[in-house]
Amino acid sequence: MIGAPPGLEFIGCGIDGAAPELRHGSGGGRRRHVTVNGRRTVTVDVHAHCIIPGTREIVDAKLAFPPKPMTLVSHERLREMDEQGVDYQALSINPFWYEAPVELATQVVNINNERLAEFCAAHPDRFVAFASVALQEPQIAAVQLEHAVKNLGLRGTAVGAHVGSKEFSDPAFHPFWAKAEELGAVIFIHPTNMPEFKRLKGNGALASVIGNPLDTTIALSHLIFEGTLDRFPGLKICAAHGGGYLPSYVGRSDHGMRVFPDRCDPSIVLKKAPTEYLRGMYFDSLVMNTEGLRHLVEVVGASQVLMGSDHPSGWTTEQVDHVLSTPGLSDDDRIAILGRNAARLLGISHVEPAKQATTAI
């Protein structure tokens, strides 16, 4: 165990101070149990955030969101999961330590991973988590990931969509991808702020609304076009926000290779078309409308889509109904997207507690 930094309070309603109903994995209110065609189906939200209070101060980081709603657990988090029909959340902490000296970043990473592991171990019926890593030093990040997966039981890692000016296709990251591939760890790619994009300032929260999906689009495109995914074909990548814009417009990426071969590096010969790389990745369902989700499934397949909400950012509370109401999906598709794909990918063995059957709605 690592020591808590000065001022670290593991929040008043955390593990030690949890009310009895929290210890039993319930928010204390009414819990929605989701069914597809009359069959109870497990639901997993793979896009859910938290922070560990006190960690930002270590690296003097500012967050886009106020910390209180992001705290690891509260009555409110479990109550909202219950109301929204979410059986499990896969927790992630958006990296805010990439610019910090690696020693300080490592302090944050260790605290995050220890606390997440403790918390998931205390609530195995509601939570799994992605580890934090100090990706500004990929060799160190590889060691951190191995420890988190092998010793702490975390399911993979949550990373940004770039590190400073470096893209994930940079050879500096190869040791990290090699370790992730070896471990079978899921890499949850979540965009980070793009302050260099000055054009995204102004009305409309464009840095989030446009910038975040663009950030992911760029990250995935480099991983494809620089040959990183050919070098590490076993990587399990899950991209937030439905992979940004890439699955919406991947025909242009396929086409560009054909019409501009003179602009492609002859030393990089991709093994397949960009669309086919997408079919080997995973994407959350957070594309905000049913046509977007229908199209995502059409492009990448229902086996590659995992329910995501961005809880507790407020983007949606209707992630379950979004999947249930999207036209053109089979019952099996819905069951897969709602939770079966994620349960398999993240190693969640769901056993329905008998007592909960009486509260199903």
| Interface contacts to Zn ion, rule CB under 5 A | 310
Query: Is there a contact between 312 and 335 (Cβ–Cβ < 8 Å)?
Result: no
Cβ distance to Zn ion smaller for residue 226 or 310 = 310
Cβ distance to Zn ion smaller for residue 287 or 335 = 287
Minimum distance from residue 309 beta carbon to Zn ion (Å): 9
Structural tokens at position 155: 């399911």
Mutual orientation of helices 138-150 and 174-183 as an angle, nearest 10°? 10
What is d(CA 280, CA 263) in angstroms, rounded to the nearest whole number?
25
Minimum distance from residue 160 beta carbon to Zn ion (Å): 11
E strands along the chain, which residues?
35-36, 39-40, 44-49, 88-92, 127-129, 156-159, 186-189, 236-239, 282-284, 305-306
Minimum distance from residue 129 beta carbon to Zn ion (Å): 14
Q: What's the half-sphere exposure (Cβ side, CA atoms, 13 Å) at 258?
A: 8
Cβ distance to Zn ion smaller for residue 68 or 255 = 68
Structural tokens at position 69: 């709603």
Cβ distance to Zn ion smaller for residue 215 or 310 = 310
The phi and psi torsions of 200 (rounded to 5 degrees) equal: -90, 0
Cβ distance to Zn ion smaller for residue 179 or 311 = 311
Query: Is there a contact between 348 and 120 (Cβ–Cβ < 8 Å)?
Result: no
Minimum distance from residue 360 beta carbon to Zn ion (Å): 29
Minimum distance from residue 342 beta carbon to Zn ion (Å): 16
Minimum distance from residue 241 beta carbon to Zn ion (Å): 7
249: helix, strand or coil = coil
Which residues, at least 6 apart from 258, have a Cβ–Cβ distance to it below 8 Å? none
Cβ distance to Zn ion smaller for residue 18 or 93 = 93
What is d(CA 291, CA 199) in angstroms, rounded to the nearest whole number?
28
Which single residue brings its beta carbon nearest to Zn ion?
310
Cβ distance to Zn ion smaller for residue 240 or 338 = 240
Minimum distance from residue 146 beta carbon to Zn ion (Å): 25
Q: What's the half-sphere exposure (Cβ side, CA atoms, 13 Å) at 73?
A: 30
Minimum distance from residue 284 beta carbon to Zn ion (Å): 9
Cβ distance to Zn ion smaller for residue 308 or 339 = 308
